[in-house]
Amino acid sequence: MSNKDLSEKSWDNRYQNQDIGWDLGKVSSPLKAYFNQLNNKDLKILIPGGGNSYEAEYLFNLGFKNVFVVDLSKTALNNIKKRVPNFPDSQLILGDFFNVNDTFDLIVEQTFFCAIHPSLRKDYVSKMYNLLEINGKLVGVLFDAPLYKNRPPFGGSKQEYLLYFKKLFKINIFEKCYNSEPSRKGKELFIKLIKF
């Protein structure tokens, strides 16, 4: 992927060529712990930029049947379908997150924020706000490290992120992640933000 190329074709090529270093091959520990304490199986959940979305697979297998994944990569969405044949096709959305027009109770952030260009971060926050129901939650992890400036994953800091989110969301949790995967230890923030 070139420094500037964040196109659908480019992302799909990365999945076809297994150039997916951010992919853990499983649901991450922080999200797994959060999912395990959810009781309402009727929650309508979105996972934007979900990629291979082990999160969607995990939730679906826990009994959450109202899970939607949106991604630019057809290959990534096909990978989910291969692992979870019963996952509804209509809930695997090939397209741009910014074009989704629906509302959700919960949106899961897992390596999507760091994949979009930093110039889109304000748009990301506005779109998240518009996609959530009142009292809906944006939950997940953000990288709290410089990372790269010219290609994904794009990094940042808690101070920077709070400037974006605090205008539209109640900050419930925005702390260093205590249960990160070993390769991400000390580099993640766990967030739970509520639309009010």
Query: What is the domain partition of the chain in residue ranges?
Result: 8-15+28-195
In 3-state terms, what secondary structure has residue 118?
Answer: helix
**Residue 49 and residue 97 in contact, taking contact as beta carbons nearer than 8 Å:** yes
Look at the domain 8-15+28-195 and name its fold: Rossmann fold (3.40.50)
Among the ranges given (85-89, 157-161, 180-184, 188-192), the one the predictor scored with the smallest mean pLDDT: 180-184
In angstroms, the CA 131 to CA 134 distance is: 10
Among the ranges given (59-68, 108-117, 134-143), the one the predictor scored with the smallest mean pLDDT: 108-117
- The DSSP code sequence of 33-101 is HHHHT---TT--EEEET-TT-HHHHHHHHHT---EEEEES-HHHHHHHHHH-TTS-GGGEEES-GGG--
Q: Which tokens is 1 given?
A: 């992927």
In angstroms, the CA 106 to CA 138 distance is: 6
Predicted TM-score (pTM) of the model is 0.88
pLDDT digits (tens, 9 = 90+) for 54-90: 999 999 999 999 999 999 999 989 999 999 999 999 9
Band of pLDDT at residue 15, cut at 50, 70 and 90 = very low
Report, as an integer, the average pLDDT of 169-194.
Answer: 94
Among the ranges given (43-47, 75-79, 150-154, 172-176), the one the predictor scored with the smallest mean pLDDT: 150-154
Band of pLDDT at residue 18, cut at 50, 70 and 90 = low
